[in-house]
Amino acid sequence: MVVRVRVRVSRGGRSRIVVVLVNGGAESEEPVIALRPEDAEDLGIPLNNFDVIEVELASGKTHNLISRDKVKVELLDEQGNVLSCTYAYLVIDENLNEPLITDATIDELGIAVISFKKGLWRHINDPPNTIRYSAHG
């Protein structure tokens, strides 16, 4: 199992709730959320608002689209309440198996992983004995 969390991604008057992989191995200088094209279409961001970037993966380099403007990303608890919020660049990856957030986004949202293998995490503002479980899509 891995850690997945539920987030609401918003831009303008549109939003979409997505379960994302908490991927500490995906490094970025700024907060980034990577989505599939169909998830991004729901936000109504035209492709002319994206630039092409080179992305370095463990298996080599590839190219993706990145938004010029940031989107709002809210971390949600099990009941849909907002735990924290940040603004992140949106990366569109046609080959993405599941949406993910990078290390910078994880830190900005205050996600503290307890166990990747068991899918356990807590929010930075949770009491020390709080344990949250990986979200399911």
Task: For 5-63, write each residue's pLDDT tens digit.
Answer: 999 999 989 999 999 999 877 888 999 999 988 888 888 887 777 888 777 766 678 77
**Residue 130 confidence (pLDDT) above 90:** yes
- Would you kindly state where each structural domain of the chain is located, as residue ranges? 4-133
Architecture (CATH level 2) of domain 4-133 = Beta Barrel (2.40)
Cα 36 from Cα 51, distance rounded (Å): 16
CA distances to 30, 50, 61, 122, 125 from 70, in Å: 10, 11, 24, 25, 24
